Structure 1
Amino acid sequence: MNSNSQQPTANANSYLDMELLRFTTAGSVDDGKSTLIGRLLFDSKSIFEDQMEQVKQSSERKGLEATDLALLTDGLKDEREQGITIDVAYRYFATPKRKFIIADTPGHIQYTRNMVTGASTANVALILIDARNGVVDQTCRHSIIASLLQIPHVVVCINKMDLVDYDKATYDRIVSEYEKFAAKLDVKDVRFIPISALKGDNVVNRSEHMPWFEGSTLLYTLENIHIGSDYNHIDCRFPVQTVIRPKSDKFHDYRGYAGRIAGGVFKPGDEVTVLPSGFSSKIKSIDTFNGEIDEAFAPMSVTITLEDDIDIGRGDMIVRTNNQPEPKQDIEVMMCWLNQKGPMPRTKYTLRHTSADMKAMIKEVRYKLDINTLHRNEEDKEIKMNDICRVQLRTTKPVLADSYRKNRQTGSLILVDEATNETVAAGMII
């Protein structure tokens, strides 16, 4: 990051009690993702007694000797019956240091779209590897998706260390295998932790069985990993979600623009431009539920008032006058197709980008990406569910977009089928 760029200060964040970290889990079937999350929740004392009682009863019904912690997350009946994760299961827990949202995503190839959904907002990807099997195809597949989605931090959990007698050589071999593969990917921060989710080694508490490992436990890593700079604090982007006009006696002339900051740092007095109209003004105040603040930055939700009366509505974007996104109607996108029916030629979809909606169609399919090898297939252009491909979209009005690499908020979009209202694709702007 630019050393002289504006960095947010801690006091502006004090209105939020605790920082929120989102992480996603990925790995092959039976690598122990659900058990790991169950262990995290159990050992960090984030489970209610009645939940624990239900899990104990389910474990007894299955004839298990020990309580199966995986049942804490496999919420769907099918999942409990098959012992696998099908949908994205979201779980929430907190420690004194941080709040967490976990997206537990499925391991099967046919659920790639679910992983894309769960990972799109994550700060951290936990990739599980079975210590007995080492790096397998699914490990590579999930790492490639994490890289495509620009997840800033990857924590590789080498699980089931208890089944290889906590052997350091096995751990070292897998670390070396993964590092060789990850060198091809665009992942900035990769960490490794040897764990046993079943026994609790290095999940919340340090393992007595692996004195050779000097790194942190998984929970300590999640609590302390630095995520403040995961957001773009240079390019100021504020998509307007709604206009606030109380029309009460106290706030008779109040006109504020509410939304969530997608990038940059905003302060009262800053000169800003409203897009797409191009009118300029200065920020008069930045208001939150707890009163006025001196500066605001991503991902805070705030209300901005301006010194001039400008016609602004949902879908407009407030940006810095000297730093604006380029409005485009032809946009290049890496797209994951989420629907069972492939796209029909010349079909119009609703494109949703930040708070703006518009019509769009797929103008051209450039290539399909083989998610296992990163090979580009330019011959087969028929898009099916779970396919990841590069396409050119044509929109009815300009999209105020940055590249996804620069800003995950203003660089992402979804396509919605107008007839069924289903989300058919998720895209990353190139």
Structure 2
Amino acid sequence: MAGSTRCVVVGGGPAGMVLGLLLARGGVDVTVLEKHADFLRDFRGDTVHPSTLTLLDELGLGGWFEALPHSRVDRVELPGTGGRTTTLADLSRLNIAHPYIAMAPQWDLLDLLAEAAAREPSFHLAMRHEVTGLLRERDRIAGVNYRTPDGAEGTLHADLVVAADGRRSATRRSAGLRPATFPVPFDAWWFRLPRPAHEDSVGLVPRMASRRFAVLIPRVGSYQIAYLTPKGEDLRELGIEAFRRDVARLCPSLGDRVDQLASMDDVSFLDVRMDRLHRWHTDGLLCVGDAAHAMSPVGGVGINLAVQDAVAAAALLASPLLRGRVTRAELATVRARRLAPVAAAQSVQRAMHRTLIGPVMAGRRSAPPAAVTGLLDRFPALTVASAHVLGVGLRPEHAPAFARRAPLPPRQARPARDRAAGPAQRQA
């Protein structure tokens, strides 16, 4: 690997890969450093919202994504009494190109982005390269230190470092940036169970009971299940038998297959956090995605906000990077552009925490507030407004002109991933 680059992106997640692809299409020499050997990690933001699907079209990648195994969800519902449901958000009524949320494994999306980016001569992806620290020259960040697969230490100088390494960003911490945190009343446990073909579903309906909340996300051949419990409660102490009974009580339709959870190793734990940096940059470094603002899993909007951060950063910073060093004022324009949609999304999530999930976690509620479901039933137009907020967002970003392409030819057939492997096997 060369000793210098215009921009080094720390982290090969959705934000990092989209930013790398767009900057490379703008002629910027960009290097993405990813500490893992591949993208094969489970339960990592598998919801691809309409705004991201539109972006893929603009990049000429819509056909590539459409060929990936994925399912579609076009509405979110709330449970009521007697088995009835109330629609919270109806994406099918949106007048947009993709009126649905696509459910696709994140590793497939990242492989797609990596393959498209590899066509650009100024794009470089280094897997199994872990950033260990930041280079400083005078009062400015000027690159990164990293460790190679064989344990050797290296240095990469850069005009700009972008931290896209997630909610526990070591790059952000090394830069001395500290986020403000918001209270979250729950943690999430993720697992997968089979979904027979006859159990067709295009909607999400959460299940609620005292101190328990679950969402069954329909995937190709399986349900991806988010199982929410009060903050700090460790289900591993109960053991797998008790966990199976717990799941079957909340979701009776899964009672005939919970025994396929062999042990708690088949269940992934997420310590849910919500935070936001007051300042997303320092001289020579910018934070995007979860490194700038960790989102709640409510609505599954985190991946899409991260992608939109990346698009805004590429549009605003490609020209400054081509001419040389990016100024602090130019870095500040990214936060200025993205703060409102991020803050709005977090405000909606915090309201959901306070009014619905928090009371369920505290044992005070086992159904949505009647006032909310009554309002939605009386005024169906509200379901379109909420669908727009969920699927499109307050300020959707579009690909800059320099990154747009006509639809690319179909990809060659790809080897199937081992989707039957348990999370413990995939999360190195």
- TM-score scaled to structure 2, two decimals? 0.24
Bigger helix fraction: 2
Bigger strand fraction: 1
- TM-score scaled to structure 1, two decimals? 0.24
